[in-house]
Structure 1
Amino acid sequence: MGNQVEQTYDIMEVCLLAGKIMLQSGAETYRVEDTMMRIASSFGIVKTHSYVTPTGIIFSAEGDEPTKTKLIRISERSTDLKKVALVNSISRNISSGTINRKQALEQLNEIDSMDLSFPLGTQVAAATLASGCFMIMFKGGWNDFIPAMISGGLGYLSFVCFHRFIPIKFFSEFLASFVIGLLSFIFVKMGVGHQLDKIIIGSVMTLVPGLLVTNAIRDLMAGHLVSGLSKGAEAFLTAFAIGAGIAVVVSFL
């Protein structure tokens, strides 16, 4: 009996670790719940229940012994779809019987400790190029391509730097959008840029929470009202911070 209880807790640990990695990496609520239930079912626990929110996971398992429940807290969230894909791969390997519980836990711990994000220089370069392309996509002129690239790249760099010193997304996004608005205004005043609105729109697109909005809508459509509303509120705060930063520049300069 004791060994069976210990084994159940080990399986729950694997499920919760997989769910934690996916939720921290930007996965949808339904995907997190489905992955945990599939892993538990593959290890022989058929009756499971999960409750996932952006800030925590509650997972319980039913069997011959009393129901066991575990809770894990999610304090940090980012976007790392590579980790989501890796966890999905491990889940498929568990379902096919390729790896056992111990191997799955080791691989999940390895993924959890990985830093798969691109180097800062690569991120800034991508944001720089994307800002110029977004500006063209919103029907801006090619003579504003370079100003939009510089504003967007420096704005994204300032967002990363501010977030390291102020670990509150609202303030770092507000300050980054303020930098973007200020640089765009300077370029237009110097005669280097021409369409202020197009430069600003293209530059702030790298800060827009596109994945968060998509996941919020997807969760609401799937019936996960708590997760959908909380993610939608977070996306709204991000959009408000970006708009407020630009509004300060436009209003006072």
Structure 2
Amino acid sequence: MRPEIVLKAGSLAGKILLENGAETYRVEETVTRICESFNAEDANAFATPTGLFVSFEYEEETYVKVLRIKQNAMDLERIHLVNDISRKCVIKELDEVQALSALRSASMIEGYKNIWKIISAGFAAMFFTFLFEGNLFDGIAAGLVGGVVQVIRMELEKLKLNSIVNIIVLSAILTILVLLLTYIGFVDHRDITISGAIMLLVPGVAITNAVRDWISGDYMSGATRAIEAVLIAIGLAVGAGLILSLWMNFIGGGVL
């Protein structure tokens, strides 16, 4: 066994999982299993949404690696690939060099094409609007707005701005677009249309992972994810509320 490579493989696996929305317990378990599969002793992993700490012993030497996690996205395909690599390590189908190479490949796979992200966002916003009992025109409007918001979201991600700032900006733009469509008479129920489109930005995964972390006893990670979800919700309210307030003051009309 080459402990330096095992340390790189285990920490890279944890990094990929954390960056793509995996639960804390899954990250720690996967990292530990990868290290132990190559005969590392006393392997430990401690994960938070913003950091990963990996350590183990081998031949009376201690190996430690600390990683700072900055990216926070959602890619289930990468999580699946890391889990598959972890299982292959456990059943000895891969050695440490092959595992590290496979993990590097998994970290660099291309996600869905931008056009599919835009189309998916549009359909999601449309069907959320129907779920909230909006009519056909409300759904079409929400779909168009959802697609535009996804385009803007991808451009904002390139600027590496604070995630809360991005949410406020996207929420404000979304609300402006729906209000303009209402003003020209295309939308019948603007509150429903805004609600349907804004569901694209709601932190559902963060809330779910917070609950999962609490249930598994990872209270710090759960609290961190819960705070993140609350801040995103506040950002959504600030962006949409500010635009609605300005609209009612200068243009007139109620929310309904």
Deviations 1:22-69 (A, max 9, x none): 111111100000001111121112421211111111111135404332
- Matched ranges for 1:132-171 at <5 A: 132-171=126-165
2:171 aligns with 177
- 1:48 is aligned to 2:43: yes
Q: Which runs of 4+ in 1 moved over 4 A?
A: none
Which residue pairs with 1:228 in the alignment? 222
Contact 2:3 2:58 in 1 (8 A): no
For residues 204-230 of structure 1, what are the alpha-carbon distances to aligned partners after superposition, in whole Å with 9 as ceiling and x for unaligned?
111112111111111111111111111
Instruction: State the secondary structure of the residue aligned to 2:124.
Output: helix
**Residue in 1 that maps onto 2:251:** none
Identity of aligned residues (%): 31
User: Unaligned 5+ residue runs, structure 2?
Assistant: 248-256
**Structure 1: segments with no counterpart, 5+ residues:** none
- Give the structure 2 partner of residue 237 of structure 1: 231
Q: How does 1:184-203 map to 2 (within 5 A)?
A: 184-203=178-197
Q: Which residue of 1 aligns with 2:21?
A: 26
Partner of 2:104: 109
Distance 1:213 1:186 in 2: 32
SS in structure 2 at match of 1:78: coil
Question: How far apart, in 1, do the equivalents of 2:13 and 2:162 lie?
Answer: 26
Paired with 1:13 and 1:201, the residues of 2 have a C-alpha distance of: 44
Are 1:98 and 2:103 matched, yes or no? no
Alpha-carbon offset, residue 180 of structure 1 = 1.0
RMSD: 1.5
1:122 aligns with 2:127: no
The size of the alignment, in residue pairs, is 247
1: CA distance between counterparts of 2:208 and 2:40?
A: 32
- Cα distance, 1:16 vs structure 2: 0.7
Q: TM-score, normalised by structure 1?
A: 0.93
8 Å contact from structure 1 (residues 166, 172) kept in 2? no
Q: Give the 3-state SS of the residue equivalent to 2:188 in structure 1.
A: coil
Aligned to 2:240: 246
Shift of 1:166: 4.9
Q: Which amino acid aligns with 2:90?
A: S
Residue of structure 1 equivalent to 2:253: none
AA of the residue aligned to 1:41: E
